[in-house]
């Protein structure tokens, strides 16, 4: 170990705040309220409030001020938030480097994935998980907007999504087709038709995913390109909720074909033969160009390419 002749810069002023307090502070700042932060951290609300109070007195200034029914950061709070994120990013780099030193014997692979990929991503992770039992895999499944926010904060190494954001420096590898289809309740008169135009559907109630969903965004973009107006009747927060609502006869919907089993007979829904459908989109694995990938993530990408039998060079090779 190298010997230091003096105290490293800043060490004599080591923070009195604890990492646990900083983690709660970051969650409250990100989620905009103590209740939501407590829920996401699996802590009791008074515990988080106490941690914030202690943190505030450790730094000697208020970090939040009330705004409406929520909380907003003070100027000091903004500066602390950036510091905390830098600190956590540095810790993550340490974990990655330490895992690198241990090869693939120990480590962690963090992946964020949009909800539509939950139907197959675990299968793609399976071979890697079996081959590298020492690597902990953390798979977070959320909608597109939430995955983009995680990518912005650099919380995961890899993300699986259909519509990667343009504003981030990302490597992208289109790895699987994502056909989007129109579904109707089984037995609906439209299911008898051999061929339909999109305009023949627009008097039917349209069920869409919540704002922030990539599926919703892709179908809105498609309809705008076709010059078709089809106003949503109802927004639902998951693919499963949409399928149940369609089955119950509440309307039609555009969903990834992968959210449905191959054989539709038991599902209570049918795919309509609409011109222009399936909308052909791809899922991408993306990762930030400005952050080095860990050995675990690089290995996962290489093994996945091999398992999927990808012969053509992807847009960015792992
Ligand atoms: P989402 O997924 O609708 O759950 O956001 C979209 C996607 O496949 O990228």
The band of 10, judged by pLDDT with boundaries at 50, 70 and 90, is low
Distance CA(161)–CA(154), nearest Å, equals: 15
- What pLDDT score was predicted for residue 312? 37
> Residue 313: which pLDDT band, with cuts at 50, 70 and 90?
very low
- When pLDDT is cut at 50, 70 and 90, the band that residue 219 belongs to is very high
Q: pLDDT tens across 237-275, in order? A: 999 999 999 999 999 999 999 999 989 988 999 999 999
pLDDT at residue 158 is higher than 50: yes
Mean pLDDT of 35-60: 93
pLDDT at 314: 39
pLDDT at 199 over 50: yes
* Residue-level pLDDT at 310: 54
- Residue 28 CA: distances (Å) to CA of 88, 153, 196, 263: 15, 15, 49, 45
| Residue 139, preceding peptide bond in cis (omega within 30° of 0) | no
Structure token digits, residue 7? 């105290």
Q: Which atom of ligand 1 is nearest to the CA of 161?
A: 9
Q: Find the 227 Cα to ligand 1 centroid distance in Å.
A: 23
Q: Whose CA is nearest to atom 9 of ligand 1?
A: 162
Q: Is the CB of 214 under 6 A from ligand 1?
A: yes
Using alpha carbons only, give the angle 307, 313, 318 rounded to the nearest 5 degrees: 70
Q: Which residue has the tokens 């919703």?
A: 216
pLDDT digits (tens, 9 = 90+) for 61-116: 999 998 887 788 999 999 999 999 999 888 888 887 877 777 788 888 999 999 99
Structural domains of the chain, ranges and CATH numbers in brackets: 19-82 (1.10.10.10), 91-176+282-316 (3.40.190.10), 178-281 (3.40.190.10)
Tell which atom from ligand 1 comes closest to the C-alpha of 163: 9
Nearest-angstrom CA–CA distance, 222 and 227: 9
Spell out the alpha helix ranges (H) of the chain. Answer: 19-31, 34-41, 45-59, 75-101, 121-131, 144-153, 214-226, 239-247, 295-307
Tell me if 114 CB under 6 Å of ligand 1.
yes
Q: Compute, in angstroms, the gap from residue 277 CA to the centroid of ligand 1.
A: 17
Tokens of 31: 């989620």
Check pLDDT > 50 for residue 128. yes
């Amino acid at each position: 170990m190298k010997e230091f002749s003096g105290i490293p810069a800043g060490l004599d002023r080591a923070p009195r705040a604890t990492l646990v307090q900083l983690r709660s502070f970051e969650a409250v700042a990100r989620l905009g309220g103590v209740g939501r932060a407590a829920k996401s951290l699996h802590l009791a609300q008074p515990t988080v409030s106490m941690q914030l109070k202690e943190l505030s007195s450790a730094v000697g200034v208020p970090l939040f001020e009330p705004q409406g029914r929520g909380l907003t950061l003070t100027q000091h709070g903004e500066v602390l938030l950036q510091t905390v994120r830098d600190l956590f990013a540095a810790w993550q780099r340490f974990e990655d480097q330490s895992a690198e030193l241990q090869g693939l014997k120990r480590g962690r692979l963090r992946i964020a994935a949009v909800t539509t990929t939950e139907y197959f991503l675990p299968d793609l992770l399976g071979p890697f998980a079996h081959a590298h039992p020492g690597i902990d895999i953390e798979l977070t499944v959320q909608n597109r907007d939430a995955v983009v926010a995680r990518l912005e904060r650099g919380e995961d190494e890899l993300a699986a999504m259909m519509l990667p954001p343009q504003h981030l420096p990302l490597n992208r590898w289109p790895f699987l087709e994502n056909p989007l289809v129109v579904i109707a309740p089984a037995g609906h008169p439209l299911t008898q038709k051999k061929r339909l135009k999109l305009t023949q559907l627009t008097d039917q109630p349209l069920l869409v995913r919540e704002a922030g969903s990539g599926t919703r965004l892709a179908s809105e973009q498609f309809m705008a390109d076709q010059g078709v107006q089809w106003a949503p009747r109802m927004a639902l927060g998951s693919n499963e909720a949409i399928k149940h609502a369609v089955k119950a006869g509440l309307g039609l919907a555009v969903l990834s074909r992968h959210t449905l089993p191959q054989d539709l007979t038991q599902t209570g829904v049918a795919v309509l033969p609409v011109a222009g459908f399936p909308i052909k989109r791809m899922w991408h694995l993306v990762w930030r160009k400005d952050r080095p990938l860990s050995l675990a993530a690089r290995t996962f990408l290489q093994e996945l390419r091999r398992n999927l039998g990808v012969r053509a060079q992807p847009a960015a090779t792992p």
